[in-house]
């Protein structure tokens, strides 16, 4: 499996060989270096945006493919308009899920966070700001965001989060360094529903065609349409003979990737 350290070492070794062999003084050598550098940078960009590649960070992106079980996850809350509606639907269907919450939103919706926890769901850390430039922060600043979010979750629920999901699912060497310090288990996903971008029918179609055993499904509890489609989504999953279980139980199954 490709990872950041091995790829960077390989790139540097090729670079040194080209320099030592004197190829840098030739046009062909310069072209080769430019192509290799372009490939290296492209790989870094693609891998940073795809958490499933486990390039910068080892993330858990699914459970066992052998078992007809999946887990639901909801990002970016707690939301004052939608999270409680989602909690009610989950309770009606006796489903426990995982909510990756943003610290600054928790501050405004403390009661909702408490309800998520009291109703038996998992609360994960999804950074304090979820800032668009989060991935450009230095490790120290990332650590402060993550720890501040852990602290408010612990203050309200009494439990310290074990899991972290990177904002936008983007990973990089700085985040890798930060997470080595905070010690969180990193959670990705196997199926992103794009519920904040697609219409309800498109989301349901995607679920119908792409769901598979061991799936970790990504929704957003900030999106009113997600609350509207959730019962149908649950029906689709159950009609495929799949059981919806809480993320930590799914993770206890043997991983296949
Ligand atoms: Zn998010």
| pLDDT tens string 60-107 | 999 999 999 999 999 999 999 999 999 999 999 999 999 999 999 999
Q: How far is the CA of 74 from the centre of ligand 1 (A)?
A: 9
Distance 25 CA to ligand 1 centre (A): 48
CA of 131 to the centre of ligand 1 (A): 9
Q: Based on the domain organization, do 44 and 63 belong to the same domain?
A: no
What's the total number of domains in the chain? 2
Q: How far is CA 147 from CA 117, 128, 143, 181, 202, in A?
A: 19, 9, 6, 10, 37
In this structure, are 123 and 23 located in the same domain?
no
Q: How far is the CA of 191 from the centre of ligand 1 (A)?
A: 14
**Which helix or strand (DSSP H or E) is residue 75 part of?**
strand 69-75
Residue 215: band (very low, low, confident or very high) from pLDDT cuts 50, 70, 90: very high
If you measure from the C-alpha of residue 21 to the centroid of ligand 1, how many angstroms do you get, rounded to a whole number? 47
Q: How far is the CA of 187 from the centre of ligand 1 (A)?
A: 12
Do residues 131 and 171 both lie within one domain?
yes
**Tokens standing for 148?**
């501040």
Whether 123 and 221 map to the same domain: the answer is yes
Q: Which carries the bigger pLDDT value, residue 32 or residue 235?
A: 235
Tens digits of per-residue pLDDT, 131-190? 999 999 999 999 999 999 999 999 999 999 999 999 999 999 999 999 999 999 999 999
CA dihedral over 105, 107, 108, 113, signed as positive or negative: positive
* Residue 130 Cα to ligand 1 middle (Å): 7
Q: Is the overall model pTM greater than 0.75, yes or no?
A: yes
85 and 157 assigned to the same domain: yes
Q: How far apart are CA 125 and CA 145, in angstroms?
A: 10
* Averaged pLDDT score across all residues of the chain: 95
Residue 177 in 3-state DSSP?
helix
Give the pLDDT score at 221.
Answer: 98
Is residue 255's pLDDT more than 50?
Answer: no
Residue 179 in any domain: the answer is yes
Helix (H) / strand (E) element for 74: namely strand 69-75
Q: Are residues 105 and 148 in the same domain?
A: yes
Task: Give the pLDDT of residue 24.
Answer: 78
107 and 232 belong to one structural domain: yes
Distance from Cα 169 to the centre of ligand 1, integer Å: 7
Does 200 reside within a domain?
A: yes
Q: Are both 143 and 242 inside the same structural domain?
A: yes
The parent domain of residue 35 ranges over 4-49
The pLDDT-based confidence of 19 (bands split at 50, 70, 90) is confident
Is 211 a residue whose pLDDT tops 70? yes
């Amino acid at each position: 499996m490709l990872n950041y350290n091995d790829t960077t070492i390989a790139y540097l070794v090729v670079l040194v060989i080209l320099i030592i062999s004197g190829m840098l003084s030739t046009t062909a050598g310069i072209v080769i270096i430019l192509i290799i550098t372009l490939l290296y940078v492209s790989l870094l960009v693609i891998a940073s945006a795809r958490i499933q590649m486990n390039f910068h960070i080892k993330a858990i992106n699914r459970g066992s493919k052998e078992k007809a079980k999946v887990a639901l996850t909801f990002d970016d809350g707690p939301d004052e308009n939608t999270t409680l509606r989602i909690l009610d639907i989950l309770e009606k269907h006796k489903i426990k899920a995982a909510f990756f919450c943003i610290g600054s939103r928790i501050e405004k919706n403390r009661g909702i966070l408490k309800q998520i926890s009291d109703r038996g769901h998992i609360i994960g850390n999804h950074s304090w700001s979820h800032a668009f430039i989060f991935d450009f922060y230095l490790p120290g600043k990332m650590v402060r965001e993550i720890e501040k979010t852990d602290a408010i979750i612990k203050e309200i629920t009494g439990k310290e989060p074990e899991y972290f999901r990177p904002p936008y699912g983007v990973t990089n060497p700085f985040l890798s360094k930060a997470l080595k310090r905070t010690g969180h288990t990193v959670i990705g996903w196997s199926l992103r529903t794009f519920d904040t971008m697609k219409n309800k029918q498109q989301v349901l179609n995607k679920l119908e065609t792409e769901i598979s055993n061991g799936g970790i499904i990504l929704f957003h509890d900030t999106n009113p349409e997600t609350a509207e489609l959730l019962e149908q989504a649950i029906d689709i999953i159950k009609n495929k003979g799949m059981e919806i279980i809480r993320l930590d139980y799914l993770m206890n199954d043997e991983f296949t990737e």
